Structures are given as structure tokens and as C-alpha cells.
Amino acid sequence: MNEIKKSLRDLELGELTEILLEAGEQAFRAKQLYAWLHRKLAGSYAEMTNLGTALREKLSRSYSVALPEPVAVPESKLDGTKKFIFRLEDGHVIESVWMKYRHGNSVCISSQVGCRMGCRFCASTLDGLARSLSSGEMLAQIYQIQRLTRERVSNVVVMGSGEPLDNYPELTRFLRMISDENGLHISQRNITVSTCGLPSEIRQLASEGYAITLALSLHAPNDTVRQTLMPIARRYSLQEVLPAMEYYFEKTGRRVTFEYSVVQGVNDTEDEARELARLLGNWKRGGSCQCHVNLIPVNPIRERGWKRPERRSVEAFRQLLCRNGINATIRREMGSDISGACGQLRRDYLREETAER
């Protein structure tokens, strides 16, 4: 098996500068190279035409600049959403999504190959965690999608496979690089990171000054119900997680989002809506609500017995929250005809690939 080279896309500009200086190159070459990698989105050394042949050959012996290979790209007939199955250089596959909105194009990326959080409604976690992605592999999903669609990405959501805060060093490096003025320069305010709720990492993210939108996978108004849906809730109670979210809001001033996957017969009653409104009551400050609840009718997966609620029951849940002063919306479904649940398309692809062997 060929040795997998380190990717130049994993390196921040300062690190890239050090490598080129050690190779006897001038510092300005690092900015040129960084621009090829992160602004012009080059997928090969051959594209880097203003770099000398000798430098490109020297770098190619130790570093890769390859982008992930798209092996499946189904497109929704309903709304034009495209899902991408990418094969990484080590053979693992990951899933990303491109969504077109009036306000711009959004991409949902994965932060890990699989996931170890074990959420009962999520297909990504069924086979556990294979490995975490590097910052470059996270960036490369966006870059390859922008190359393939030929449309600029303006918003990024880190809500694909994996728990982003379980990959904290690479996540934060990714955040710095995607917002770097020498690269795509996507504002951190246009980036949303979803977490199951790792309190210490939430606080660290706030203390280090990141300005992203943070979304907590809440999914229940109390620990008892939450533990049936999310094993991580047995380790971190709401009494630990919610204060960490408040700390994030206080340090950053960024309104937080609470994601609530609505599962029929599990967490969808009016009593649970009232309990949720009480739980989030202290987010109502100065006559306005400093949080937002995103209600997500669950996408059933074959391996679980959950049922999708009727639209009218989700709407009743939303209205009850709003009457109690909590901002709430029902998430617009995108690409529901092309394996809508997180990780479902990747799992289907792997199943078919195994069957063909």
C-alpha cells in the first residue's frame, strides 16, 4: 500500500511559510501557495502555474494537494439539493451536502468518519467512529463542492457525520482557515457548528474568541427523555450543558440554537413543549428571546423503530413554544428524496459497495 502523504491543506499560512523558508524559498511563495490551496482551490500541483517546476516537484515528494474523489452525487428532484459521497485518500468515505437558498449557497460538512456519540436517531453513528478528519479534509469538502458546482459557498454548517467538539483541535484550525482573508474568507458569523453538548469544549470555544453560531442537539426537555435518545446525556446532564451554552452566549454575544428532533411518541407531546419552554425560560431577557429552537421532524432510519410525527403535531409544538415566548421554527427539509437522514446516504453507499465485492 502506498504511503499516504500529509496534506498541505492542513497547514496554516505561518506553518507553510516555515516549510518554504526551510526549503530555501522566499516567504512570498508561501502566500502564493496558500492562495492556490485555499482561494483558487487547486486540486493538483500542475494547476499552480506561477510556482517553479522544481518547487512543485520538491513539495510533491512529501505533501499531497489532492481533493477528495466524488464517488456519488445524487441530486434532489424536489429542490436541487446535492449530496456528495467523497472518498478520502485512505479509502474512507464521507458525506457532504450542498443546498441552494435565496440568501446564498450552504454546505453541510462532516467532521469525522462515523461518530461515537451513539444518538439513536442518527445513521452516522451506527458503525461507530473510524477516525477524525483533519482540518484540511474538512476544508476540502467545501473546496471540491465549490469546484464541482461552480458556485460560491457563503454559509457552512458543521452538522454532518461526527461530533465536531470531539475533534476540537482540527475543528478550530478549520474555523481559522475558512475565515482567513487569504483563503475563502467566509465569516465565522456564517458558520454553524452543531454539538451533542461537551461542556468543557463549549466553554473553551467561547474563551478562545470564536464567533460562530453554536447549535446544541437538545432533543428533549429533561434528562430522562434525553438519555433514551442520546447516550452522551448519561455523562453530561442538562445542568452541566445548559450553563456552558449560557457561558458561550455571554462571552460571544451570539444567539444560540437548540436543535430538537421530534420523534412521534417519544418527545412530541404538548406537556413536553411546555416543559421545554420552562427549561429555556431564562433565555428570555430584556423583552426578547436570546435563543432559537429548531424543530426537526425525525427522518426514520431502517435500523431504528422511531416514527416521524405528523406535520400538524410539530406545528402545534412550535406554536406552544412561541406562545410561551420562545423563538421556534420547523426546519425546512432539503433533499428528503435522496436519503435525508444524516449519514444515511453514506451507509447506503457502503452497503452497496460491500454487496458488489
**Nearest in space to 194 (alpha carbons), one of 166, 174, 170, 173:** 166
Q: One of 18, 259, 342, 356 is an active-site residue; which one?
A: 342
Whether the CB-CB separation of 177 and 11 falls below 8 Å is answered with: no
Hey, what's the cell of 249?
Answer: 452566549
Q: One of 95, 137, 170, 259 is an active-site residue; which one?
A: 95
Cα Dmax for the chain: 69
Measure CA 316 to chain center. 29
342 catalytically annotated: yes
95 catalytically annotated: yes
> Which neighbouring-strand residues pair with 260?
295
Q: Which amino acid is at 152?
A: R
Which residues belong to the active site?
A: 95, 342
